[in-house]
Structure 1
């Protein structure tokens, strides 16, 4: 029987593997993970507020985003048009190379996991995150129950 580990270990280990594996794949495609996240965001929405859009991926500031967009401009992958960015043909080609690498990793990550199982895992993790994000430092509120979640 496989050794059972606490959820904290499993979540941390999965995060380490995701960071390392995606990092290597993106690097092979010729860009950094932050460049990928920025370029991918711009391909999806060139009018995006990058600081807000990228905040889930890293601790973003106007300065940190400026460093990444500056590097993408230097490579000729994006151009700035006023307060917006546009992805160039070269940028779309670079994005597609990285997108293929990312798709292969995402497929590998979910191998052996059904769509329903994947949905349950991500929903459960989202609930756990919300439970802890909303908890005060002392006097934790009761966690939402499965019945309460399913009645929404």
Structure 2
């Protein structure tokens, strides 16, 4: 039985999320930590700025908890918050691991296949938005 696209989109989302979560958890952090480290790598942010930029992903008060945990790890400091040298090193190491997850996910796909898949999914989302 051929499964519809919705099945495969949901299934892929679940296995990608699980792989990324396991990768991050092995370093003692979660998705919000990952997003915050990437955000702070671009430029320092106040709590309010970081909260505003990551608002679609955050629960109430979650940014404060994430920043406190990253401070405890020694990966961020200050307000506005910036990455420390240890934070920059941790982010680079995590990026390497996340890249490996992404490479495993696209193994056997050509660049054209990948671009076509992304373009198709984007178009379908736009059609229904």
TM tier, shorter chain?
A: 0.7 to 0.9
What residue number does 1:140 align with? none
Could you say what the CA RMSD is over the residues aligned between the two structures, in angstroms? Answer: 2.0
The whole-number CA distance in structure 2 between the counterparts of 1:95 and 1:17 is 22
Alpha-carbon shift at residue 91 of structure 1 (Å): 0.6
Consecutive unaligned residues in structure 1, runs of 5 or more: 134-152
Runs of at least 4 residues off by over 3 Å: none
What residue number does 2:53 align with? 53
Count of paired positions: 127
Normalised TM-score (structure 1) = 0.74
C-alpha change, 1:122 and 1:97, in structure 2 (3 Å) is same
Q: Secondary structure at the match of 2:78?
A: strand
Normalised TM-score (structure 2) = 0.86
Asked whether the 8 Å contact 1:40–1:95 carries over to 2, the reply is yes
Q: Which is bigger in relative contact order (C-alpha 8 A, separation at least 6)?
A: 2
What residue number does 2:40 align with? 42
The whole-number CA distance in structure 2 between the counterparts of 1:119 and 1:46 is 32
* Structure 1 residue 104 corresponds to structure 2 residue 100: yes
Alpha-carbon shift at residue 77 of structure 1 (Å): 0.7
Consecutive unaligned residues in structure 2, runs of 5 or more: none
Asked whether the 8 Å contact 2:43–2:82 carries over to 1, the reply is no
How far does the alpha carbon of each residue in 1:26-71 deviate from its partner, in whole angstroms, 9 at most, with x for none?
A: 1113321221121122113334842343356x2x256222221121
Asked whether the 8 Å contact 1:26–1:32 carries over to 2, the reply is yes
What residue number does 1:24 align with? 22
Which one has the largest radius of gyration? 1
Q: More helix by proportion, 1 or 2? A: 2
Q: Secondary structure at the match of 1:31?
A: coil
The whole-number CA distance in structure 2 between the counterparts of 1:80 and 1:129 is 39
